[in-house]
């Protein structure tokens, strides 16, 4: 059986404990990088990627509209086959579906002939799946991968640093889009290697099982529904008349026969009825769940929440306090926080492992919350929390003022003023809470102390199907700090 990335590098963590897609490098994982999903996110990494995607596509489209055929084809020819991410629909060995060579010519032909491109309806790369023949999820995902390859490489390097994966040697990066030079570039980067092949990791918050914008779905559930009602109101020959004389809307099948599916038809319809397209996109901008960030079950069909949470609780007993086990505790806590706080906290990065000769295990998370505690911290309590600092203390003694001061020293206006102090056990919890309260009331930032007991309680709540109660627990701690 093909091994996953986590098993190859012996991370001791499973997919729910990892921020990236735990691929099997020997075969493609059937997930897609979705440019529309990336555009919905407001974190720094996603915004950077969205800007790259939008810039490349507008540059290529401008060349096509201006009739600069050679320039346009050269741009499209830079979209090579990205095998390093191991995502998509290939069977067997990963094989990208880039559009270089003949496919670049075909893509140029499709875009130049597209009704949506001619009218200006086609504005974003994600729209291609709706309006451009020959472009589906696989190809769209691969095009996106090429454009954002540089941020993906940097993300990969950060995750390898976080998990202690050695990066040996430099490998060709493959082409990535350079906004300043308005061209493709390539250079060399240190990357993890499996079977002599470099691997690029992808954040799991950027992938979907299917693209958010889907031509068939748009056609069947939005366009046809609109036309069905329109035909009914106009009283066309498709309207059904019952024996009683009552009029009924036409059958969808009849509407589809009159208006068969083509992407050019969708473009013409959307040009004439822009509110339908806007409603469709707005629907997905607000949608959570199946077509929002993927759940743990989306990544693993056999995933059992209760059993997984119980297994993680047992791991606390196996890691003893003390410097000798600090590294093991750090790795474990990274997995616990990922599992408990996904998708609100994302992109964990390890920082400053050594300070004054003492080992410091510091992690910074990006706050991507759109609801819940980590969202309210900023909106309701006005605490800067674009990033959340985490420090893990595998001490056998109570955290004291030096640890509190150390963490508050990491806060700044740009980084934020919210941190989690993760510790093992405490003899005087009220005293620790008072120290954190003094820090908050002095204006030096908010530090939420979380020990083994709290994390085990969070896992209990998850196993009972009460994940939402975790927010209440955190809110109560915060209230004590702000009193």
pLDDT value of position 219: 97
Beta strands in 86-187 (DSSP E): 171-172, 176-178, 183-185
* More reliable by pLDDT, 291 or 275: 275
Residues 314, 437, single domain; the answer is yes
Residues 320, 426, single domain; the answer is yes
- 425-451 confidence digits (pLDDT tens): 999 999 999 999 999 999 999 999 999
Residues 143, 67, single domain; the answer is yes
Residue percentage of the chain with pLDDT more than 70: 93
Q: What is the CA radius of gyration of the chain?
A: 26
Please compute the mean of the pLDDT values over residues 92-100 and round it to a whole number. 50
Element (H, E) at 345: strand 345-351
Query: Which segment of 1-5, 66-70, 313-317 scores lowest on mean pLDDT?
Result: 1-5
In a domain, 291, yes or no: no
Residue 98 reports pLDDT greater than 70: no
Residue 453: give the domain boundaries: 304-482
Residue 93, CA distances (Å) to 4, 25, 27, 84, 351 in order: 14, 8, 5, 11, 35
d(CA 476, CA 483): 11
pLDDT value of position 80: 78
d(CA 158, CA 334): 13
DSSP states of 174-223: --EEETTTTEEE--EE---EETTEE----BGGGEESS-SS-HHHHIIIII
- 147-193 confidence digits (pLDDT tens): 999 999 999 999 999 999 999 888 998 899 999 999 999 999 999 99
User: Which of residues 191, 208, 225 is at a domain's end?
Assistant: 208
User: Which of residues 176, 193, 208 is at a domain's end?
Assistant: 208
In a domain, 34, yes or no: yes
Is the CB of residue 143 less than 8 Å from the CB of residue 125?
yes
* More reliable by pLDDT, 446 or 300: 446
pLDDT value of position 359: 46
Q: How confident is the model at residue 93 (pLDDT cuts 50, 70, 90)?
A: low
In a domain, 328, yes or no: yes
Residue 250 reports pLDDT greater than 60: yes
CA 50 from chain centre, in angstroms, equals 12
Please compute the mean of the pLDDT values over residues 379-396 and round it to a whole number. 90
In a domain, 296, yes or no: no
In a domain, 15, yes or no: yes
Residues 86, 20, single domain; the answer is yes
- Check residue 336 and report its DSSP letter: H
pLDDT value of position 289: 40
Query: Which segment of 215-229, 275-289, 392-406 scores lowest on mean pLDDT?
Result: 275-289
pLDDT value of position 34: 94
pLDDT value of position 290: 39
- 416-432 confidence digits (pLDDT tens): 899 999 999 999 999 99
Residues 414, 331, single domain; the answer is yes
Residues 313, 399, single domain; the answer is yes
Residues 195, 47, single domain; the answer is yes
Residues 188, 246, single domain; the answer is no
d(CA 205, CA 158): 16
Tally of structural domains, the chain: 3
pLDDT value of position 160: 96
* The two three-digit tokens of residue 322, written as one number: 């003390």
CATH of the domain at 437: 3.40.91
User: Which of residues 158, 187, 208 is at a domain's end?
Assistant: 208
pLDDT value of position 91: 47
pLDDT value of position 294: 83
In a domain, 299, yes or no: no
Residues 186, 228, single domain; the answer is no
Is the CB of residue 188 less than 8 Å from the CB of residue 197?
no
DSSP states of 351-384: E--EETTEE--EEEEEE--SSSHHHHHHHTT---
Tokens 């990922």 sit at which residue? 338
Residues 183, 329, single domain; the answer is no
Please, is 246 exposed, middle or buried when counting C-beta atoms within 10 Å of its C-beta (0-12, 13-18, 19+)?
exposed
Query: Which segment of 129-133, 265-269, 358-362, 394-398 scores lowest on mean pLDDT?
Result: 358-362
Top mean pLDDT of 101-105, 279-283, 407-411, 459-463 is at 459-463
Residues 55, 126, single domain; the answer is yes
Average pLDDT of the residues of the chain: 89
Is the CB of residue 95 less than 8 Å from the CB of residue 142?
no
pLDDT value of position 291: 47
pLDDT value of position 322: 92
Is the CB of residue 459 less than 8 Å from the CB of residue 309?
yes
Residues 130, 276, single domain; the answer is no
In a domain, 297, yes or no: no
d(CA 105, CA 44): 34
In a domain, 127, yes or no: yes
Residue 95 reports pLDDT greater than 60: no
- 211-245 confidence digits (pLDDT tens): 889 999 999 999 999 999 999 999 999 999 888 88
Please compute the mean of the pLDDT values over residues 114-143 and round it to a whole number. 89
- 79-90 confidence digits (pLDDT tens): 877 889 999 865
Residue 288 reports pLDDT greater than 60: no
pLDDT value of position 414: 83
Scored b (16 or more CB within 10 A) or e, 22-51 reads: bbbbbebbebbbbbbbbbbbebebbebbbe
HSE at residue 80, side-chain half, CA atoms within 13 A, is 14
């Amino acid at each position: 059986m093909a091994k996953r990335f986590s098993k190859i590098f012996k991370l001791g963590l499973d997919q729910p404990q990892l921020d990236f897609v735990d691929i099997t490098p020997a075969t493609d994982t059937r997930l897609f990088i979705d440019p529309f999903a990336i555009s919905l996110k407001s974190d720094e990494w996603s915004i950077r990627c969205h800007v790259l995607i939008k810039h490349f596509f507008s540059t290529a489209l401008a060349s096509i509209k201006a009739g600069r055929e050679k320039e346009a084809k050269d741009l499209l020819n830079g979209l090579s086959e990205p095998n390093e991410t191991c995502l998509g629909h290939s069977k067997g060995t990963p094989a990208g579906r880039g559009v270089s060579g003949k496919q670049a010519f075909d893509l140029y032909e499709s875009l130049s002939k597209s009704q949506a491109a001619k009218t200006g309806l086609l504005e974003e790369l994600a729209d291609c799946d709706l309006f451009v023949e020959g472009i589906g999820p696989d190809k769209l995902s691969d095009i996106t991968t090429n454009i954002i390859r540089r941020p993906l490489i940097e993300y990969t390097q950060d995750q390898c640093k976080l998990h202690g994966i050695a990066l040996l040697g430099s490998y060709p990066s493959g082409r990535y889009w350079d906004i300043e030079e308005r061209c493709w570039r390539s250079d060399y980067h240190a990357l993890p290697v499996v079977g002599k092949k470099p691997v690029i990791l992808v954040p799991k918050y950027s992938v979907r099982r299917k693209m958010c914008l889907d031509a068939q779905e748009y056609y069947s559930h939005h366009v046809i529904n609109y036309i069905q009602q329109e035909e009914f109101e106009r009283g066309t020959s498709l309207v059904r008349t019952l024996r009683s004389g009552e009029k009924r809307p036409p059958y969808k099948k009849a509407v589809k026969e009159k208006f068969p599916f083509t992407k050019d038809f969708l473009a013409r319809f959307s040009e004439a009825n822009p509110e339908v397209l806007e409603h469709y996109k707005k629907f997905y901008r607000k949608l959570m769940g199946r077509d929002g960030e993927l759940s743990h079950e989306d990544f693993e069909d056999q995933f059992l929440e209760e059993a997984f949470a119980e297994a993680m609780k047992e791991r606390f007993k196996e890691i003893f306090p003390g410097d000798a086990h600090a590294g093991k505790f750090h790795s474990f806590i990274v997995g616990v926080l990922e599992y408990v706080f996904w998708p609100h906290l994302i992109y964990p990065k390890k920082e400053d492992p050594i300070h004054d000769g003492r080992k410091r295990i510091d992690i910074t998370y990006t706050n991507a919350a759109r609801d819940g505690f980590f969202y309210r911290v900023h909106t309701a309590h006005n605490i800067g929390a674009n990033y959340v600092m985490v420090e893990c203390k595998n001490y056998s003694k109570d955290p004291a003022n030096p640890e509190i001061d150390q963490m508050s020293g990491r806060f700044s206006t740009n980084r934020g003023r919210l941190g989690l102090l993760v510790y093992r056990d405490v003899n005087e919890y009220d005293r620790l809470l008072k120290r954190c309260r003094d820090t908050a009331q002095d204006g030096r930032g908010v530090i939420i102390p979380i020990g083994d007991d709290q994390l085990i309680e969070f896992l209990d709540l998850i196993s009972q199907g009460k994940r939402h109660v975790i927010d209440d627990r955190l809110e109560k701690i915060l209230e004590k700090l702000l009193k």
